[in-house]
Structure 1
Amino acid sequence: MRYINKKRRVSIWGASVLGVFLVAANLAEAQTPSPALLVLEKSDNMLAIVDPANLQIVARVPAGQDPHEIVASPDGKLAYISNYGGSDSTLNTISVVDVAARKALAPINLGALRSAHGLAFAGGKLYFTAETNKIVGRYDPATQSVDLVLGTGQDRTHMVAVNESLDRIVTSNVSSGTISIIEQVSLPTGPPRKTWRVINVAAGRGAEGFDVSPDGKEIWAANAQDAAVTIIDVAGRRVTQTVPIPVKGANRLKFTPDGKRVLSSGLGAGAGANLVVLDAATRKELKSLDLGGGAAGILIVPDGSRAYVAVSAKDKVAVVDLKSLEVTGYVSTGRQPDGLAWVQ
């Protein structure tokens, strides 16, 4: 029978305990990287915090039930996450995460507003869509209350964007196949005052992912059922062109920060492109990429050097170099990654 010397056994025990404390200390001292990529893992109800330098997940935080879209506050301290549940869901919350502390905070209760989905942060306030109610709302973190609700009258009001002057809101309405342009206008008579006017522009079947060009002149919308992108002139409130794209189930679309290129991803099953890159000026395809499975959320970093694309069907996020238009790496994630955000 082999024995361990008592003194040696104590030393081993002491070293083991010390090792445990050192590991715990290192974890406690670990900080959220800056910049950081935030990835929603929809089927796991989690938020993954990723270090872009090594494409590794450094932390996971509960994201509430059925998390779909995410936006960060301008200072990068908080992440807001829509808890969707589908068009007829009874879910009425937006989850909140302290990014630095890596912990979930108390969610925002939207009361009678249900199925929050699209999110945008502008002017210190959080804009959101509520599909069940066919509205876009605005939440003020300072007063912890919803201070604006605007109806679209459209089915599945899904994604939202807000301009810098805060007088124009754009939404996509998937089941109606429309884009709503909601503008603040001055009333023609009576004392000087303003109101909101809603103009719905027919886009295409399944109009969902969209973006407004950096100069504010055009809205490009991806039509999932038409395999096409609709281009809308904002000033004229009319469609100027429809561009076919080689992506099935196109559901997300983003401009590069310089406005020169447009990326659109698709959830369509089967072989073929999951991401297409278009020249914004010529409206021509520059390149299509097969990411290995249906893709959804797109995030382009502020300097426009690369894009992150959630490959939902394969539980990974692709990194695309926007100079070479090649995939340079992948982030392995939890189940069904989708919404993406960037903090720094």
Structure 2
Amino acid sequence: MTRYKNIALAALSLVSGLSFGQGKQYILALSKGEKKVIVYDYKTLDSVAKIPVGADPHEVVTSPDGSRAYISKPLMNDKGHEIAVLNLKTLQAESIIDTKPFFVPHGLVYLNDQLWFTAQGSKAVGIYDIKANTVTEVFGTGQDFTHLLYVTPNGKRFYTTNVESGTVSIYEYLEIPPYMPPTGVLPPNAKPRHEWRQTLVNVGVGAEGFDVSPDGKELWTARPDGHVVIVDLTTKKITADFETKVLGLHRLKITPDGKTVCIVSVKTGDLLYYDSKTHKLEKQVKIGRGAGIYMDKESDRMFVSCTPDNYVVVIDLKTRKEITHLEMGRPDGITSVIVQ
């Protein structure tokens, strides 16, 4: 029976592969040097296509069905206002989202047909409604260099690092009691209301890369001076701040199992593995000057964009050994996608 089942599965895989763009699985890597999205076969990591997207591609997310990819183009030294849209079925550029009057889009999250983005130049986070083709909500941080973004699955909380202000924004959608007027007497029909409220946590200037633990309780971030800071997302207080003695810490990611925090230095080329519970260093290796990390849960692989060194390092998370290098000009954002 197993033999026939395997034959059937193989046949199904062959048939699904005959239709271009259907049931395909890719790794997408942004090349700032080449101004392209480079598409790789998910398993073999062979290059499949290179899609021009214009200058300064930084971050990438995809729609749940895998049909579209969205790439922020902040144009860091200008007033960038574009998010490129790719059709992943045809592997071609499709359109441009204009974020004006919100400038320098960078961090991206796709949730429920809404594209959340940070607007560094406007000190804000915006929500672009995909179906309505317009920005529907904006949240001002009042902070400098609002950069990376994490939105909780229910869309009721989000976090962002404000690099030059040295803060983390914790935004929550809360029920607010009726406002008590100066008379001290509530109006007869006074009711609670719901609105967004921001809490700022001072984590130190330069804190940029961050991640949230799988249980949603902790936020880890790192600073270029070698410090790692942990924020309790319930109390909104710093619970740990420790020194790694590695300068240039840039990005970090927590492994899918929640056990390890991986931190890269864009200055020294070190990759640090820290135990998420004990905060002890488990391993330190030279891989190249890391400027971005993508964790792929399905394959247990980590992709590190070594932007200054012009390659992406692919690492097996089980063995912590390098699998391969993907050569490209100034790589940045990376993700995986299944195109239905």
TM-score range, shorter chain: 0.7 to 0.9
How far residue 273 of structure 1 moved from its aligned partner, in angstroms, is 4.2
CA distance in 1, matches of 2:125, 2:81: 14
Residue 331 of structure 1: which of 323, 326, 331 is its match? 326
How far residue 246 of structure 1 moved from its aligned partner, in angstroms, is 5.0
- Greater shift in the superposed pair: 259-268 or 212-221: 259-268
Pair 100,288 (structure 1): closer, same or farther in 2 beyond 3 Å: farther
1:285 paired with 2:275, answer: no
Q: Give the match for residue 241 of structure 1.
A: 240
Q: Deviations over 1:111-152 (max 9, x none)?
A: 211100111112221110001110000111011111110000
Q: Give the match for residue 254 of structure 1.
A: 253
Q: Deviations over 1:54-96 (max 9, x none)?
A: 222110111232111111111111111111112x621111111
- Greater shift in the superposed pair: 247-256 or 173-182: 247-256
Task: Give the counterpart letter for 2:200 in structure 1.
Answer: N
C-alpha contact 1:123 1:164 (8 A) present in aligned 2: no
How do 1:146-157 residues align onto structure 2 when only pairs under 5 Å count?
146-157=135-146
1:210 paired with 2:192, answer: no
How do 1:64-213 residues align onto structure 2 when only pairs under 5 Å count?
64-86=54-76, 89-189=78-178, 190-213=190-213
- Greater shift in the superposed pair: 316-325 or 29-38: 29-38
* Superposition TM-score, scaled by structure 1 size: 0.86
Q: Deviations over 1:316-337 (max 9, x none)?
A: 111111111111211122x100
Task: Give the counterpart letter for 1:279 in structure 2.
Answer: D
How far residue 153 of structure 1 moved from its aligned partner, in angstroms, is 0.7
CA distance in 2, matches of 1:97, 1:230: 36
Structure having the higher Rg = 1
Residue 295 of structure 1: which of 290, 294, 306 is its match? 290
How far residue 30 of structure 1 moved from its aligned partner, in angstroms, is 5.7
How far residue 343 of structure 1 moved from its aligned partner, in angstroms, is 0.3
How far residue 33 of structure 1 moved from its aligned partner, in angstroms, is 7.8
Q: Identity of aligned pairs, percent?
A: 37
Q: Deviations over 1:229-272 (max 9, x none)?
A: 1100011111110122354322211111221111112211xxx5
Q: In structure 1, the residue corresponding to 2:58 is in which secondary structure? A: strand
Q: In structure 2, the residue corresponding to 1:132 is in which secondary structure? A: helix
Q: In structure 2, the residue corresponding to 1:68 is in which secondary structure? A: coil
Q: What do you get for the CA RMSD once the two structures are aligned?
A: 1.7
CA distance in 1, matches of 2:166, 2:27: 31
1:305 paired with 2:294, answer: no
Aligned residue-pair number: 310
Query: What residue ranges of structure 1 are gaps of 5+ in the alignment?
Result: 1-27
How far residue 159 of structure 1 moved from its aligned partner, in angstroms, is 0.3
CA distance in 2, matches of 1:325, 1:89: 39
Q: Structure with the greater relative contact order (CA < 8 A, sep ≥ 6): 1 or 2?
A: 2
Residue 275 of structure 1: which of 271, 277, 286 is its match? 271
Q: In structure 1, the residue corresponding to 2:69 is in which secondary structure? A: strand
Q: Give the match for residue 223 of structure 2.
A: 223
CA distance in 1, matches of 2:125, 2:226: 26
Pair 50,246 (structure 1): closer, same or farther in 2 beyond 3 Å: farther
Task: Give the counterpart letter for 2:92 in structure 1.
Answer: K
Q: In structure 2, the residue corresponding to 1:121 is in which secondary structure? A: strand
C-alpha contact 1:116 1:131 (8 A) present in aligned 2: yes
How far residue 218 of structure 1 moved from its aligned partner, in angstroms, is 0.5
